[in-house]
Structure 1
């Protein structure tokens, strides 16, 4: 038995080799078969008087009958033991490594595609598959006679793909023997986070394309009637913003100044617009009317108004934008024209006011309502970008309704203090305190105008994913060209593991059916006279 186990372990590998001792159970059907003697046949005769008396003899030797049935039953027991031991067959098979090229979508732009088209085409002729380096890794299928140039385009939808994040996905998903060559730009915005850990057979190639991006960041009319235009400029190692004031503007006029890009001014009935002459894709709108800000308050918040009015006035004057700041009590009629901003410091319902201007995208800020119970506490306001802690003395509960709102400020315990809720035509800010020194020290803080400025004029950071041309640090990896020659990948062998359990179960079912059929045939023969 021990020799049999050694032989099986040499031929296969078992997850539970100790269960191979169950093979000893083969002796059970053999023993039952040997002791299960066939009953004697009864022979009917007319008379026994002519039979000679003889000495009775009993056969004591064991005889094997129905050998095929015995063999099937023994084999079934052996298969059951093997199934319990879960055999596996391991073998070495020769495989040709997977060879894939991954291209960042931005490389399909003409500035990059011209640098890599010959290298990629050369890889294709050697059997490499080409994929885009973006979620799903879609394949770019073209024959050896075709070229990567067929996919070149003037604009790409997935320009903001993080190449390092995609490399981490490839490192986890591709098999160890796979070969991958990844082409990406050398732009900093395409490589965010930590440098990925790659396999030895991965090759990352950043492709350089020296470029400078210039774009329109924003434009608005100033309090003096001038048109202030802010330009952005990005180079390999820096980003800068410059602004210029144009005094006279005419419809469809090209505005230019020394050291600034030329822009075209277009006048419309509701809003004007500016576009760079060199690029028709960079266009921004200019609000014609002054920025309208309203503070509506009730009697209980008269003291709050002087603090928030002074802070708003400081923020608006610092921006220099044309504006009107109006203070209205709850006893005064509601404005007929829709403002851009309204600070709703009153317990009046806000919904009826919003319903009057369904097409105007309003921004509103509400403070703590008088009907809501205020809690005394000794805490502080946690505001991003503000290192100094602003003491918090009183607040109201945020409630479950604000659970899905974006939290902008928090108290010292992590509870929401200022939330933002966006709907189709409304941006709602909810402050769970008030702009009064008895509630918090925000009105007396030098950061109060700055915080209101951030609410009135949120930073436009779209340039980070569209126009930022800063490149990777040289010490990380210098941009390089892909080598002109490629070494052929010799076939490798990998260990293939085949689970034999299911095959053995199927064989056991087949043998069981055959055993039942043979047993039935033997029973029929035994009953025949």
Structure 2
């Protein structure tokens, strides 16, 4: 398709009026020839007159076409053409489950390959490969950790020409970390429950306040993850350390009481060895602590030494009617928050996706930024029975991600119906060819033809 990068130069085509005016100006009347008999020369005179007019009109056309080509050259003509792409779409599977995935959906995958779809690895870069060779690589021994949401977001930016995409993945919930991206109707997602869909393991043992040893047993399946506590039989090493938790509150005394109650509930439930101290003066802060809950808008003292710090954000207070969203608990009403920058990894979010609790990792300290308050006027967290359950994995984290067998709801994989929000793919870049050289060649040819025609007419003048 022909396109002009600077079409304003087409106005220069109006310059063809110049050779037209010159042609009309140079038309002079014919000379009168004295002959013996006018009757004998009339027919030849008409023929000669017609030849003169044809010659002049041809020269005029050459000069007009020359000006038109010059105007076209200044307009920078290009020819754009979509590259030929016979590929109908992509089939994507991750290497760590490629053999099991292919067995689950073999008829559909084979039919897509026969229809012209190409296989790509579901991993950053989406490398293309031959499926038979990929199956022989025994990729089940590899480990994939990239979030499916991040892969889908990158896929929608990379896939060209809005080609259809078929995703085949396990339905493990732990692979869907972060915010869910918009999914357009060109993505067809098929998820399945893997064979190893149940798991049970000990999450560690610790010494209780009364001197006994408790073991935390974890059981996970597609329906959820549960925990059970039992007495240690001596097979696991026990953690005998006492967790030291410090709550500092100056103007937020009531917030400290809500937090202290939640920590005591955790202590009673787990029977862990915990020391909980509530302080109101910075001079009383201990030299070291496992957790420091800084319930204050004041900056942290320089001499604070704690492995984990929970601190209030400071800034503009924003009234909102939203929800506090966490991974495993029902939504909690959120009334106020602090307008803060999401510079750290979000653990809890509000209904708009902004982080309410964000984790900042430093060399020896983990800082938890909380952009709200532990106050019923700010949110329903202090009154929620989920508050201690939300604090428990922060205080005593378990590394269960790789063994987590919970399954995501299939509705989460469905395309979005609001096409206004869908990220449009980049598309195939058209092939652009510059036509300037073609215009130059045509101009040179027309110029030479015009000069040759002028020389020819000068050497062969018309005679009556």
Settle same-fold status: TM greater than 0.5.
yes
Find the aligned partners of 1:344 and 1:404 in 2 and give their Cα distance: 19
Q: Secondary structure at the match of 1:457?
A: helix
- CA shift at 1:293, angstroms? 0.7
Q: Point out where structure 2 has 5 or more consecutive residues left out of the alignment.
A: 5-9, 29-44, 415-429, 459-464
Are the structure 2 counterparts of residues 322 and 228 from structure 1 closer, same or farther at C-alpha, using a change threshold of 3 Å?
farther
Q: 5+ unaligned residues in a row in structure 1: which ranges?
A: 1-11, 39-58, 254-264, 273-286, 478-496
Q: Which has the larger radius of gyration?
A: 1
Greater per-residue helix proportion: 2
Q: 1:72 aligns with which of 27, 40, 62?
A: 62
8 Å Cα contact 2:205-2:214 kept in structure 1: yes
Q: Is 1:214 matched with 2:229? A: no
The offset of 1:138, in angstroms, is 1.0
Partner of 2:209: 223
Q: TM-score if structure 2 supplies the norm length?
A: 0.58
1:116-151 per-residue CA deviation (whole Å, 9 max, x = no partner) reads 789979987998643224454311158x8x563125
1:49-448 residue pairs with structure 2 within 5 A? 63=52, 70-76=60-66, 97-98=86-87, 102-105=91-94, 108-112=97-101, 129-141=118-130, 148-150=135-137, 152-157=139-144, 160-161=147-148, 165=152, 169=156, 173-174=160-161, 182=166, 184-185=168-169, 187=171, 189=173, 197-198=185-186, 209-216=194-201, 218-219=203-204, 221=206, 222-224=208-210, 225-235=212-222, 238-249=223-234, 253=235, 265=236, 267=237, 288-296=240-248, 308-328=259-279, 330=281, 333-336=284-287, 338-344=288-294, 350-354=300-304, 357=305, 361-365=307-311, 383-384=324-325, 402-404=340-342, 420=358, 422-424=360-362, 425-429=365-369, 447=383
TM-score, structure 1 as length reference: 0.52
Return the offset for 1:313: 2.1
With over 3 angstroms needed to count, the CA separation of the structure-2 counterparts of 1:130 and 1:446, relative to structure 1, is: closer
Shift, 1:231, TM fit = 0.9
Q: CA RMSD in A?
A: 6.4
**Number of residue pairs matched by the alignment:** 401
CA distance in 2, matches of 1:70, 1:498: 37
Query: Secondary structure, in 3 states, of the residue corresponding to 2:129?
Result: coil
1:457 matches 2:373 = no
Contact 1:106–1:185, Cα closer than 8 Å, also in 2: no
Contact map agreement 1:133 1:166 (CA 8 A) in 2: no
